[in-house]
């Protein structure tokens, strides 16, 4: 600010007070948001003296608010103590909530400004003190700085007010922290401008630190005690830079501060450790990002930015969730500095887990069956679940291999990601990018920022490769290398990412035979089959069909809100005799068919799907049965039985039965009459 601007502010303040103006747009030096606040304050009639008035909260309200903000007060108090350690006088430091109630105070200017040594419990809103930095900060939810006469009441015309908003773990505004300092005699000097910018930057960083502390506290109750003990070890600091670095050291998050060009100007110890920073070398934050070349442009725009990306160190990368909070110059509107925080790779798995919707819902308690073979499979799975080794699930289609995989995962790693991939369902040309991800611009149609693969999303959790026997031979070698080295490289990338996951694979094929035939790599087979579980087919699970049938009926009827039908004894016999090539999945679908097909409140044999009826089909109903010996059937008898079977398959639909037999409709009706078949 030059001297001309300062004199302009003073002159326009006098014009405003005298009322010698027609429209607020006439003012060139005083900001419009300040003028709008003055207009609101004017309604409260501070008189010709324009002196603030004291407004005190009720004791019970102060007590309740103090209890609610106790953790924030504790954090801010330790920072105030540190601040006072090297700034001895001429400042007032306070914390207020969204209603402008002061909850914490420090500094020798308190009594000079407020004419009392204690202002905790005061409500310093528009009605009591007019325009102030903390009021505008709360209203606009951004850092604000007011110089002397920009305040409304005369009490504050000789002071600089700086305020920064505090947000909770859900990014909701909960208050502000504020510093009031004495105005110099020549406020247009460059030293004062630098001092104001540094003060606002420091205060904003402190507010961000408080917000980060709240986020950490919501995830880890033990962090509060850790922060308290760490805070005690940093009571005495000599300079404001040391204060910032020490405050950031208290956190488990990595935190760096960058300037407009992206140069790292501050970093806490965690960031130094993760990024391998060299204090003698000027680092730029962009060099640590892998797939987000527009990062700095987004930060410069002034928006709070959150991305997932990989910090690249020594050619290997680890994934972090990066949050950037830019600090905007109130006069130029441009970003001056930005504070970045990043979560480590242990936390990113949970974020990816939630965003991708990848989770396992089944447990061992959800596996229905009492047969010895299924109980033995469950026993093995429970035992293997505690091991970090790879697990191979063998079983026919529909036996519940993914259900077992989810149960194994949930037995120990319920809160970690569970990523399932069906190797047979992904086109051969896409399976590599699906598994390993790709960098932005790798191929036509690729997302600009790239996309993590399934293996990367499974970091810290479980990767389930279903139908692994269908994986292309050339991709098996890449998977083997990943399992050996615990590193992956995205398609189109030039760096490795360290990953850690437990692999569960499944197949309905004979992998051992595929190895012999050259269709599956033997080294991958032996690495996958460290722990093997055979899931028995339904036909071997004696006694389980009735249990599963009752479960499927109950589950489906509850799901669709239908009355639960009874199952006839004959239907149960048919279900227990059937071969079940599709296993439990086929049984579930058969039950759904029966429920929707049955005409009454009981499921009868004719309600069963055609393939089950045909397996043990007695082609003639009771009323059409004749004595049968070992004689050869005549052509007419064969035709009659074929018609009966067609009618059974089409649920007694004559037209569809005729089409099924390749017979004309009139011919079919004529033969129905000839063979005395009733429909």
The CATH number of whichever domain residue 338 belongs to comes to 3.30.450.20
Q: Do 76 and 192 fall within a single domain?
A: yes
> What is the residue-averaged pLDDT of the chain?
82
In a domain, 349, yes or no: no
With 0-12 CB in 10 A as exposed, 13-18 as middle and 19+ as buried, what is 561? exposed
In a domain, 350, yes or no: no
What is the reported pLDDT for 629?
41
Q: What are the backbone dihedrals phi and psi of residue 346, each rounded to the nearest 5 degrees, phi first? A: -75, -30
What is the reported pLDDT for 437?
87
Among residues 318, 343, 368, which one ends one of the domains?
Answer: 343
Domain encompassing residue 323: 253-343
**Share above pLDDT 70 across residues of the chain, in percent, rounded to a whole number:** 83
Among residues 314, 343, 372, which one ends one of the domains?
Answer: 343
Q: What are the backbone dihedrals phi and psi of residue 616, each rounded to the nearest 5 degrees, phi first? A: -125, 45
What is the reported pLDDT for 142?
93
**Share above pLDDT 90 across residues of the chain, in percent, rounded to a whole number:** 28
Among residues 590, 615, 640, which one ends one of the domains?
Answer: 615
Q: Do 476 and 493 fall within a single domain?
A: yes
> Tell me, what CATH number does 24's domain have?
3.30.450.40
In a domain, 243, yes or no: no
In a domain, 236, yes or no: no
Q: Do 219 and 324 fall within a single domain?
A: no
What is the reported pLDDT for 87?
60
How many other β-carbons are positioned within 10 Å of the β-carbon of residue 91? 20
In a domain, 244, yes or no: no
Alpha-carbon gap, residue 511 to 602, rounded angstroms: 44
Structure tokens at 59: 């004791």
> Tell me, what CATH number does 551's domain have?
1.10.8.60
What is the reported pLDDT for 18?
85
Is pLDDT larger for residue 462 or for residue 354?
A: 462
Q: Do 532 and 543 fall within a single domain?
A: no
Contacts (Cβ under 8 Å, ≥6 apart) of 439: 290, 291, 446, 450, 490, 491, 492, 493
Alpha-carbon gap, residue 602 to 249, rounded angstroms: 70
pLDDT band at 242 (very low <50, low <70, confident <90, very high): low
Q: Do 211 and 134 fall within a single domain?
A: yes
Q: Assess whether pLDDT exceeds 60 at residue 351.
A: no
Say which range, 424-428, 452-456, 498-502, has the weakest mean pLDDT: 424-428
Q: Assess whether pLDDT exceeds 70 at residue 239.
A: no
In a domain, 225, yes or no: yes
pLDDT band at 233 (very low <50, low <70, confident <90, very high): low
Question: The whole model's pTM is what?
Answer: 0.46
What is the reported pLDDT for 379?
95
For 331-343, what is each residue's pLDDT tens digit? Answer: 887 888 888 877 6
Residue 330's region, left for phi above 0, alpha for psi from -120 to 50, else beta, is alpha
Q: Do 293 and 324 fall within a single domain?
A: yes
Q: Do 334 and 379 fall within a single domain?
A: no
Number of residues that make up the chain: 679
In a domain, 180, yes or no: yes
**Angle 27-32-36 (CA atoms, 0-180°, nearest 5)?**
110
Q: Do 491 and 385 fall within a single domain?
A: yes
Q: Do 564 and 663 fall within a single domain?
A: no
**Residue 31 CA to its chain's centroid (Å):** 40
Alpha-carbon gap, residue 118 to 105, rounded angstroms: 8
Q: Do 269 and 289 fall within a single domain?
A: yes
Domain count for the chain: 5
In a domain, 181, yes or no: yes
For 623-645, what is each residue's pLDDT tens digit? Answer: 334 433 444 556 677 778 778 88
pLDDT band at 548 (very low <50, low <70, confident <90, very high): very high
Q: Do 83 and 142 fall within a single domain?
A: yes
Q: Do 597 and 632 fall within a single domain?
A: no
For 180-197, what is each residue's pLDDT tens digit? Answer: 888 888 888 888 888 888
């Amino acid at each position: 600010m030059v001297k001309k601007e300062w004199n302009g502010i003073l002159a326009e303040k006098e014009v405003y007070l005298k009322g010698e103006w027609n429209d607020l747009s006439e003012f060139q030096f005083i900001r419009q948001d300040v003028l709008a606040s003055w207009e609101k304050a004017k309604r409260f009639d501070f008189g010709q003296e324009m002196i603030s008035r004291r407004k005190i909260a009720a004791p019970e309200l102060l007590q309740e608010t103090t209890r609610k903000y106790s953790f924030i007060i504790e954090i801010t108090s330790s920072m105030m103590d540190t601040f006072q350690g090297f700034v001895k006088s001429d400042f007032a430091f306070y914390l207020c909530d969204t209603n402008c109630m002061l909850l914490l105070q420090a500094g020798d200017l308190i009594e000079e400004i407020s004419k009392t040594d204690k202002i905790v419990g005061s409500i310093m809103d528009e009605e009591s003190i007019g325009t102030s930095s903390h009021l505008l900060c709360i209203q606009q939810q951004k850092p604000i700085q007011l110089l002397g006469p920009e305040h409304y009441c005369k009490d504050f015309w000789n002071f600089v007010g700086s305020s920064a908003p505090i947000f909770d773990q859900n990014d909701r505004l909960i208050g502000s922290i504020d510093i009031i300092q004495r105005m110099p005699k020549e406020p247009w000097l460059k030293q004062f401008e630098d001092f104001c910018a540094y003060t606002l930057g420091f205060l904003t960083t402190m507010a961000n630190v408080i917000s980060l502390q709240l986020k950490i506290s919501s995830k880890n109750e033990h962090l509060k005690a850790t922060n308290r003990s760490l805070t005690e070890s940093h009571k005495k600091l000599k300079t404001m830079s040391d204060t910032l670095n020490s405050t950031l050291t208290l956190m488990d998050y990595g935190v760096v501060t960058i300037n407009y060009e992206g140069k790292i100007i501050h970093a806490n110890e965690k960031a130094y450790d993760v990024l391998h920073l060299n204090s003698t070398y000027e680092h730029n934050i962009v060099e640590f990002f892998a797939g987000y070349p527009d990062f700095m442009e987004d930060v410069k725009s002034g928006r709070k930015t959150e991305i997932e990306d990989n910090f690249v160190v020594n050619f290997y990368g680890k994934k972090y969730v990066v949050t950037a909070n830019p600090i905007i110059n109130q006069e130029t509107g441009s970003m001056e500095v930005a504070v970045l925080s990043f979560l480590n790779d242990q936390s990113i798995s949970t974020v990816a887990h939630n965003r991708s919707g990848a989770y396992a819902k089944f447990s061992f308690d959800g596996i229905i069956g009492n047969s010895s073979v299924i109980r033995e499979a469950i026993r093995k799975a429970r035992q293997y679940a505690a091991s970090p080794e790879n697990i191979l699930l063998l079983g026919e289609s529909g036996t519940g291999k993914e259900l077992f995989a989810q149960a194994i995962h949930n037995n120990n790693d319920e809160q970690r990601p569970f990523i399932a991939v069906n190797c047979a369902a992904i086109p051969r040309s896409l399976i590599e990018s699906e598994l390993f991800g790709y960098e932005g611009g790798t191929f036509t149609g690729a997302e600009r920022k790239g996309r993590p693969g399934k293996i990367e999303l499974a970091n810290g959790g479980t990767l389930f490769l279903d139908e692994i026997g269908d994986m292309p031979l050339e991709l098996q070698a890449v998977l083997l290398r990943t399992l050996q080295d615990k590193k992956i490289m995205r398609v189109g990338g030039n760096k490795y990412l360290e990953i850690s996951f437990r692999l569960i694979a499944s197949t309905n094929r004979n992998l051992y035979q595929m190895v012999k035939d050259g269709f599956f790599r033997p080294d991958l087979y032996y690495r996958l089959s460290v722990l093997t579980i055979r899931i028995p087919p339904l036909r071997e699970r004696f006694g389980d069909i009735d249990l599963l049938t009752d479960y499927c009926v109950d589950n489906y009827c509850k799901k669709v809100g239908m009355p639960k039908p009874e199952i006839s004894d004959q239907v149960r016999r048919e279900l227990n005799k059937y071969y079940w090539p599709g296993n439990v999945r086929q049984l579930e679908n058969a039950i759904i068919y029966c429920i929707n097909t049955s005409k009454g409140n009981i499921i009868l044999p004719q309600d069963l799907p055609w393939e089950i009826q045909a397996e043990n089909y007695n082609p003639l109903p009771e009323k059409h049965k004749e004595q049968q010996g070992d004689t050869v059937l005549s052509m007419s008898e064969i035709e009659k039985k074929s018609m009966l079977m067609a009618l059974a398959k089409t649920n007694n639909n004559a037209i569809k039965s005729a089409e099924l037999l390749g017979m004309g409709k009139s011919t079919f009706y004529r033969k129905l009459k000839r063979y005395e078949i009733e429909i």
